[in-house]
Structure 1
């Protein structure tokens, strides 16, 4: 039996969910981002208690099919951008469609209807967040980041970054360096 959880987007969230399952003595096989594979059916009382306990941690046990599908889409994108070493070399639409085994048009329409933004806009927002991380870690230069994040050029990355954040990547990186310098002056 599978259960789906909204806002479960990090390793810390997975640890919290495992703890809640242990507390309720619910046997599980898998705890992934946004999903739990439970070994046996749970009672309505256990489900209610799990739902309440997860809510206290900022997580939400999902019940309706559209919400579950949206969470699956978000988790595929989050995993693809933040947790894989390399982005797929196929179109994101093909990748998402293949991963979820749904027609992309259906996924895109459902996502837009529920979230109010397109899947592509959601991907761009996550790519920009990932770029911010890479800029802060200072391990790659902008050309390497553009290549890693599948931008056609540094100019394309810079334009999209500025459109979303209002800052250039260079200025964003300088802000980090200034904050670091200010802390050292204390």
Structure 2
């Protein structure tokens, strides 16, 4: 994402923003898949400044999930006719659309309602220091919702990308 065009920010980057009083601040909470298997912990919240709302949970992936994926090929990249991709050290974060989870305030657990462990295991991760771009967002969205082709909106129509139930946190 180019800085001048940047519209997504981590909540902790925005000193004048905070979680609204009628929402739970889920940072630090455990996140589990639909079968109650640990995916990781919510590290931060990604905010769309134009829309003034959270659109993603930034999840620091659990070490066990990383270990389960280490020897798998997830993305094919060509290098002298060899296709392979291994996660680099530091690639330990994923994003999850806020509308894809439910929040249990009593147990302080976030549950990914319809996304299973294997999907999270195979989802491309990013390095928190390098952030991510729209291509990463689309790739992750397609991994969570492979039958939904609505992620094919143009970059010029950015806000329409977030106008779907998967980004509705209510």
Q: Is this a same-fold pair by TM over 0.5?
A: no
TM-score (norm 1): 0.23
Structure whose alpha-carbon radius of gyration is higher: 1
TM-score (norm 2): 0.24
More strand by share: 2
More helix by share: 1
